[in-house]
Structure 1
Amino acid sequence: MKLEAHSKIRENISFDGNIPIRIFRGYDRGKSLIIPHMHEAIEIIYITQGDLKVLDSTNRSILHPGEFHIFNSNSVHSTSFRGWVLKGIVLQISFDLIKQVVPSADYYKFYFSKGSPKCKKAVIHILESLLAQSESGENFVYLKSYGDVMYLLNILFKQFSEKVSEKKIHLNQKYYDRIFKINNYIEDNYSETITLSRLAKEVHLNPEYLSRFVSKHYGMSFYTYLTNVRLNHASSLISTTDLPILEIAEQTGFANYAQFNKEFKKRFGKLPSQNRKRQ
């Protein structure tokens, strides 16, 4: 489900000014890929049409119409779609807000599988209600939304959560630190030549281990992830600037124009020049 153009592992979310949530309709046609990223917010994706492939940490699943998935705060995740039409609802709730009302929230993780069918229907009803409120334009409607969010959190903590041990919290922090190092380096250097060996040296890991780590947690190889980071930046430049496409290819780290065209069409279904004409 498309959020907004970004390529950093930590997505910056622009929350509503009155209540720190973001809710919107998700829509895709043809194919789309949201590369692995994370954010300090829990995210719920509810599908109404189409099938969405989900990678959450190392867990893979497919969301079908009528189903939703809960992404925990700071969980590395990605989604992909290939089909006719994908529709749904996306809700993001600031983890700072959650910790204000549940100070021990760091010690809980949410799992869709734990909730009963009745509770899942209640969550879907709240998502639909929050979306309708966000589109109503009424004065002070955010007050009702705030109440619905609190009700939703009550359901999530009581019916969909599991307490995490201190040891698991410590292991998770080591995992996050490793993810940050890998992605910060790629984000800062994607326009240059980056090899697996060079990255391994920068993050103090064995190249073979690093290769397995990226494949396991990102759902794609190191080079595929790097290429997608570059493509995200290239797509953004095509949309927001008048730079020549050849110059964009060079600025985003592609070895040559032919490779750029090939990878861009593979990802977005059309050549960069066609994409610019369409926009």
Structure 2
Amino acid sequence: MKHQNYHNPYMSGKSVINTFAQSLEISYHYGGKHILDSSWWHETDVICPLTKMFYILEGEILIKIDNKEIIATAGEMMIIPAGVKHDYCLTELNHAHKFWIHFDLKINHANLFDHYDFPYKISIGNNPLIFSLFNQLTAMKADETTWQNLTKASILCRLVDFYIKQCPIKLKNKNDFIWMIVEYINNNYMEKINLSELAQRAHLSINQFLRRFKTVMGTTPIQYINFLRLDHAKHLIEQTDKPISLIMEETGFYDSAHFSKSFKAYFNYSPSRYRELYKKI
């Protein structure tokens, strides 16, 4: 499956998956659930073109990255980004039971992990939801039907999003002004933001800023801001009983006609009609 766009439900502005939902390319390649109890499971100087994710159910595994040894134990998830050289083996326990998956995750054709730093492992304990998601994904057959691919993309997005939301993340290149502008927009999209202000923050002319932003993000600043506002509005309409007029104001819209027209263009229904239909689900 290639270039499968998946639009996540609204999450906080700091959610990377939600931030780039419009330009997200995600593809599950393969995975499984294995019991390892032999020293044969080891390899050095591995460079995988796909990102790896593990969920350890029992025992321990040892991963060596950048001359640092990382031991992942039961109840921990681990991510090894594509292209990262690593060694792996069992520990002295000589036993591990784990889920594993290999996948691609790109933003505008670039690997997500090229832009952000994540911890290689997180502790989540015995998590029934994550167990179920891994179990569903690894049990699915290699099937290229659209429905199967959408299901795989949906499950994979939930796993990656869960991982990201459990840990601190930071930009790898703090000098990349576009990513700094994106973070500013993520934290302030509910307020009035204009192109002149954003261009000034990037120390560029408006035309230069527009070209650079679209190259990196695959969309214009205004389209991106509207996407965040509408996605937030959709979440509030689904999860609260707040009046539509209040939701409009809280998400950065100041004209009801424009808000209704924009919402309908994005979600096919007016805000009020969307709420009616959602409540019937």
Range into which the TM-score falls when normalised by the shorter chain: 0.3 to 0.5
Query: Which has the greater radius of gyration?
Result: 2
Taking structure 2 as the reference length, the TM-score comes to 0.46
Taking structure 1 as the reference length, the TM-score comes to 0.46
